Amino acid sequence: MRIVFLLIVFLSIVSIKTVGQDLYINHLNMLNQQVQSAKRDSAVVHNLFALTKIITPKMDFWIDSLKTFSLKNKSEIGLLLWEIVDAEKVIRKLDFKEGIKRHLDYAKQLEAKKQVVYASWSYLRAGIIFARPSIDFVHKKDALIYYNKGLEIAIAAQDTNEIARAYDYIGEYYLDIKDYKNAIQYLQKAENLINKFPNKYLSPTILASLGSCYLLLDNEKQASLYYQKMDLWLNKSGLTFLEFYQSYIMNIYYLGYGNYCMKHQQYQKAISFAKQGFASIKFDKIKNKRSYDTYALDHLKILYEANEKTKNFSEAYFYLQQYNEIQNSHINSEQNQQFQELNKKYQTDQKQIEITKLENEKIKAEIKSEALIRYFLLGFVVLLSVGLGFVFWSNRKIKIQNKEISEAMTKGQTIERQRVAIDLHDNLGSTLSSIRWSLETIDKSKMSPEELEVNQTLIKRLAEAYNEVRLLSHNLLPEEFEKQGLIPSLEGFVKKLSKNGKIKFSLEIAENFGRLDKKIEFELYSISLELINNILKHSQATEAQIQLLKTDRKIQLIISDNGVGLANNQTIGIGLKNVQARIKSIKGDWKMKENTPNGIQNMVEILI
């Protein structure tokens, strides 16, 4: 039986067939000739859903068609897919909590119904909630969790469209965090796949992103080729794009050139590109608050930093105010606290699944060991050695599993340090800069000598505070620690301290020290940071020394100073309690005693 609804759909779209839509429209046309059945209805839903994801002026029409058809034919999957598309509306209104909740709920429902090919889309859209906003309460790195989940499902379902989309999203993520080589790797995969199927609407985005990557790697010739291809798709391909999608593509272009000019200290050009980018998105302020905030923050950041570099403090302050106004509207809302809690809950659930899996394997291994041992004891004495060997193997396997759990916890601490470092640098750093620029803009010609002196002193102190915040954020977990370990990290930290601080720090490391277990290195670095911070805050010292010694049986970390000693430092605060907990976690010993003639010596010993 033919459906009147489908006939109306086909008659209304005869004049808008374009690359990308043709395939699905032709499929719908053929399906309209078939007798109604569950299989036929499922195929109609699939093609209508595919059309809702193609960004054209008819996108809303396809969304309504999907809903109407699913209601008329009581298609549970169709209505669920319509709910996924409809969830984008709450995200545009900055209701991130509701958006992430819906997408994760829909993805789980689809997986439970064995409709994994559609679950990929929900995970990818969940990832965008984290990746696109340039605001600090959202941790961009979390986007990869959802992107990789969507990519995994798309690959398993062999859905070329969604695989290409996942590669594009991951590539744009790496472009956003300035990892251009990784971005190019994923974007080129997306470009190769997009050339193999009809939906070309992702092409301009991929080409614009590739152009920006090559531009920021100073390969202007290659960047120009990609930007030219982007322009052909936008203006000469005959495709019709929604206004907000065109704005998004041009945003990538303007932002690429803005950051390129900042990199090469061409600040006036950077201001020009940022203003063009900012102007191109203003229409979105009412229609799509999320998109406007996302793009506006990127351009405002360039505008206030470039104006600061050119000593135009009045303009810098103006743009920084706008930047902070948008940023604070997100950070201070109760909704976003709930959003973060929801995200943490999801990630905790995922981690708990992994931990439970490891624990179950551990229990199974133990049960198997005990059963085999009893069997061998009841058997021949000759086989006792085999039983003991099996016990040894089983215990070794459990130790390996426990080590994996420990490494996972260390990795989690590392990620948290990186997040704290970003928050310190961006939030507190921006606030201090804002205050300093406010003072810079005050008319000094009307000040008395005393007021002028106070003003200059405040500016100087704010600059010192800003430098201290940057130093602390950079050393919570430096790049050297990830790549080379404890020794290069401490060497870099001490070098910065001696250069920027009033206390002269020295570092002595035993020649035979070498690399240690990852957890021990992580804890020793964290302990060093806490004790050094204690010296900076309380000791009133002029000199401090850090020693790393190693013998065949133990490791020693000795941190000492020539300050006021224990008399003014009797209280054990949270920081020193953290030191105690870290030392206990690696089964070490800590002694704090008076130096001679003054100061404090902290000695941490670990048996190896």
Higher pLDDT, 502 or 460: 502
Q: What is the per-residue DSSP string for 498-533?
A: HHHSSSEEEEEE-TT-----HHHHHHHHHHHHHHHH
**pLDDT value at position 334?**
41
**pLDDT of res. 263:** 93
Side by side, the strands of the sheet bearing 504-509 are 504-509, 543-550, 554-561, 600-607, 588-594
Is residue 333 pLDDT above 50, yes or no?
no
pLDDT higher than threshold 90 for residue 560: yes
Q: Check: CB of residue 582 under 8 Å from CB of residue 527.
A: yes
pLDDT at 228: 93
Q: 85 near 63, Cβ under 8 Å?
A: yes
136 forms beta bridges with none
More confident residue, 197 or 387: 197
Percent of the chain with pLDDT over 70: 65
pLDDT digits (tens, 9 = 90+) for 48-80: 887 877 777 777 788 888 888 888 888 888 888
Residue 229, pLDDT above cutoff 80: yes
Structure confidence at residue 226 (pLDDT)? 94
> Quick one: pLDDT at residue 220?
94
pLDDT band at 536 (very low <50, low <70, confident <90, very high): confident
pLDDT at 338: 44
pLDDT band at 243 (very low <50, low <70, confident <90, very high): confident
The pLDDT of residue 92 is above 80: no
What's residue 448's pLDDT? 79
Instruction: Please determine, for residue 13, whether its predicted confidence score (pLDDT) is greater than 70.
Output: no
Assign 110 a pLDDT band (cuts: 50, 70, 90).
Answer: confident
**Is the pLDDT confidence value at 502 over 70?**
yes
CA-to-CA distance for 402 and 54, rounded, in angstroms?
47
d(CA 438, CA 324): 14
Residue 533 CA to residue 471 CA, distance in Å, equals 12
Compute the mean pLDDT over every residue in the chain, rounded to the nearest whole number: 75
Q: Kindly report, residue by residue over 393-406, the tens digit of the pLDDT.
A: 555 655 555 555 55
Q: Which tens digit of pLDDT belongs to each residue from 362-374? A: 666 655 655 565 5
Average pLDDT over residues 193-220: 87
Q: Residue 416: which H helix or E strand, with range?
A: helix 384-423
Mean pLDDT of 335-355: 53
Q: Is the pLDDT of residue 463 over 70?
A: no
What is residue 426's predicted lDDT score, i.e. its pLDDT?
47
Query: Which range has the worst mean pLDDT, 294-298, 314-318, 347-351?
Result: 347-351
Asked if pLDDT for residue 407 goes beyond 70, the answer is no
Q: Is the pLDDT of residue 11 over 60?
A: no
pLDDT band for 134, please (50, 70, 90 cuts): very low
Rounded distance between C-alpha atoms, residue 608 and residue 553, angstroms: 5
Q: Which has the minimum average pLDDT: 136-140, 193-197, 505-509, 559-563?
A: 136-140
pLDDT band per the 50, 70, 90 thresholds, residue 223: very high
∠ CA 476-481-483, rounded to 5°: 140
Q: Which of 143-157, 498-512, 567-581 is least confident?
A: 567-581
Q: What is the pLDDT of residue 267?
A: 94
pLDDT of residue 84: 79
Mean pLDDT of 15-20: 43
- Rounded CA-CA distance 325/315 in Å is 15
Q: How far apart are CA 136 and CA 297, in angstroms?
A: 11
- Written as one string, the DSSP assignment of 274-294 is HHHHHHHTTTHHHH-HHHHHH
Is the per-residue pLDDT at 178 higher than 60?
yes
What pLDDT is stored for residue 137 in this prediction? 43
What's the confidence (pLDDT) of residue 15?
33
